[in-house]
Structure 1
Amino acid sequence: MTVLIDPPNWPGPRGLMWSHLVSDSSLEELHDFAARLGVPRRAFDRDHYDVPETVHARAVELGAEAVGSQELLRRLITAGLRRRKRHRVAG
């Protein structure tokens, strides 16, 4: 049971770099952790939270494991929690 966070490598709103916050065991664990971190539920996207660089260190202090982006994705997939975007076919 682990919450994982990758480095803030993704450009996003407000000129900040962003990280992904995931769980390798359950979405319930992820939502609980995000609430403790003060991340609003609207930051949740299918299987992860997008979090700004300003909360990365605090997430690690609260117990998130800092991992690379590829490791984060691998563990999310292994846990069976990966939810890909569905693309609509124009018709």
Structure 2
Amino acid sequence: MLLIDRPIFHRDGRRFAHLISDLSLDELHDGARRLGLDRSFHRDHYDIPEEYVGEVLAAGVHQVDPREIVHALRRAGLRASRLQR
């Protein structure tokens, strides 16, 4: 299942949410392609600008608390360390 948190992470004067899969990177990349995402992948998630979160939710992605993002990645064995690129 694809999950997204609230857009609370700041970068370059904008707020972003994180899009993940709780199953596999293949599911994540397939979902990102369906959503029209391309260059925003970072080790284990896609960064979603705040202005696109509504569109992602309308496409059926489930919104969760930001803490749940890390827990879901760990449960799925997908949490990438900061050393991985």
Return the TM-score normalized by structure 1. Answer: 0.86
Match of 1:3 in 2: 2
Q: Deviations over 1:12-50 (max 9, x none)?
A: 23x32100000000111111111111111x210110001
Match of 1:61 in 2: 58
Identity %: 43
Q: Secondary structure at the match of 1:86?
A: coil
Instruction: Read off the aligned partner of 1:34 and give its amino acid letter.
Output: A
What is the RMSD computed on CA atoms of the aligned residues?
Answer: 1.3
**Misfit runs of 4+, over 6 Å:** none
1:30 maps onto 2:24 in alignment: no
Match of 2:11 in 1: 12
Structure richer in helix, relative to its length: 1
In structure 2, stretches of 5+ residues that fail to align are: none
Return the TM-score normalized by structure 2. Answer: 0.92
Q: Deviations over 1:60-91 (max 9, x none)?
A: 1111110011011101100101011118xxxx
Distance in 2 between the 1:27 and 1:3 partners? 10
Matched length: 84
In structure 1, stretches of 5+ residues that fail to align are: none
Higher Rg: 1
